[in-house]
Amino acid sequence: MTIATAQPMTFPQELVSRYRVCWDVWPVETMVDGKLQKIGFELELSGTHPPEVTDVSPGCPSCREVFRGLRQIAEHILPSKADRPSEYVISNYEPSIRYSRSRGSRPDVSLTIQILHRQGFGPVDECEQRCLKVMEEGLAALGASNGTWQARRANQSVQL
């Protein structure tokens, strides 16, 4: 593995390994006729402060750096605009840190992408499921981990 120096921009797979990015999937639910119904998904990306950062606090410059990285990764994995039967809503930055026990209580910054119907509410459909699958495959190809971080190489076929 070579160490990139003086890159004009950072590739998404470098961001994934620098911030040890993991993802989780949660249902999005709402009340429909008095019943809780699944209407979509929330794909949560979690990245952590780089190891050289010792002074970690919510809203610190590193948090912002991690969030910018997550945002770049999110934009990279969104299905193309031409094929968007579902809608994607990317969360804004919030100055908070989460310590998930499943990730060894590392200081995580998170970004969520909601996958919803473009129009109105409705039960989870094939399109939403397909969109979620495309994004999860994109994350896996970049070397991200589902749930708990496992260091591995990004898929070499990832388009740079």
Per CB under 5 A, the segment of 6-14, 28-36, 55-63, 84-92 that binds Zn ion is 55-63
Query: What is the rounded distance in angstroms from the CA atom of residue 19 to the CA atom of residue 110?
Result: 11
Q: What angle do CA 22, 66, 97 make, to 5 degrees?
A: 75
Using rule CB under 5 A, residue 124 touches Zn ion: no
Answer whether 135's CB lies under 8 Å from 43's CB: yes
Question: Residue 26 CB, nearest distance to Zn ion (Å)?
Answer: 23
The only residue of 46, 48, 62, 112 in contact with Zn ion, by rule CB under 5 A: 62
CB nearer to Zn ion: pick between 63 and 115? 63
Rg (CA), the chain: 16
User: Checking phi first, is residue 120 left (phi over 0); if not, alpha (psi -120 to 50) or beta?
Assistant: left
Question: Residue 33 CB, nearest distance to Zn ion (Å)?
Answer: 43
Using rule CB under 5 A, residue 60 touches Zn ion: yes
Count the Cβ atoms, other than its own, within 10 Å of residue 79: 16
Question: Residue 56 CB, nearest distance to Zn ion (Å)?
Answer: 5
Count the Cβ atoms, other than its own, within 10 Å of residue 146: 12
Using rule CB under 5 A, residue 93 touches Zn ion: no
**Residues recorded for the chain:** 160
Question: Residue 67 CB, nearest distance to Zn ion (Å)?
Answer: 9
Q: Report which DSSP code applies to 103.
A: G
CB nearer to Zn ion: pick between 55 and 126? 55
CB nearer to Zn ion: pick between 60 and 127? 60
Interacting residues with Zn ion (CB under 5 A) = 56, 60, 62-63
